[in-house]
Structure 1
Amino acid sequence: MNHSDVNQDKKVQWLEQLVGRDLLDKMLCSFSKSTGLKAILVDNKGNTLISTDHAIKDCDFCQMIKSDSNGAKKCQRSYARACIEASKYGEPYIFRCHAGLIMWAAPILLDGYVGSIICGQVLMWEPEDYFLEEIEEMVKGLHIDIAAVKWSASQLEIMSSDKVQAAADLLFVVANQVMQSGMTVLEQRREIAAQQARLAEEIQARKRAEVAMSTIESRTNRINSLEKEQELRTMVRNGEKRAAERLLEKILVDIFAKNSNHLDTLKTRVMELVVIISRAAVDGGAELSEVLQLNAIFYQELHDIPSSDELCLWTKKMLESYMSYLESNKNQKNLQAIQKAAEYIRNNYRNKLTIDDIAQAVYLSPCYVSRIFKQGLGCTLMEYLTQVRVEEAKTMLKNPKYNVMQVAEESGFEDPGYFTRVFKKLEGVTPSRFKQHAL
Structure 2
Amino acid sequence: MLFLQYHNCDDCNMSKKTTANIKLKDLFSKEQCKKVEAAFMRNFQMSLEITDIEGREVRSFCSPKCHPAFCKRIRTSKTGLHRCRQDRLRSLNISIETGQPYITVCHAGIVLGCVPIMESDLPLGGLFFGKSAWEPFDEDIESDIQKRLQGLRFGAGDIRNALRKLPVISARRIHEAAEFLYILFYQNTDLDPQVIQWRRQRSMQQSRISEVIQETKLLDSTETYPYELECQLIAKVKIGDRTGAKEILNSLLGRILFNNPGNINLLKARLVELLSVLSRAAAMGGVDINILLNKNLIYINKVLTINTQEDICIWISHALDEFIESVYTSQDAKKMQQLKPAVEFMQTNYEHPLMLPDIAKAVHLSVSRLAHLFREQMGVTVVDYLTNIRINHAKRMLLTTDNNCTRICYEVGYNNQSYFTRVFKQITGLTPRQFRNQNKRK
Report if TM-score (shorter chain) is over 0.5: no
Larger radius of gyration: 1
- Decide which structure has greater helix share: 1
TM-score interval, smaller chain? 0.3 to 0.5
Bigger relative CO (Cα 8 Å, ≥ 6 apart): 2
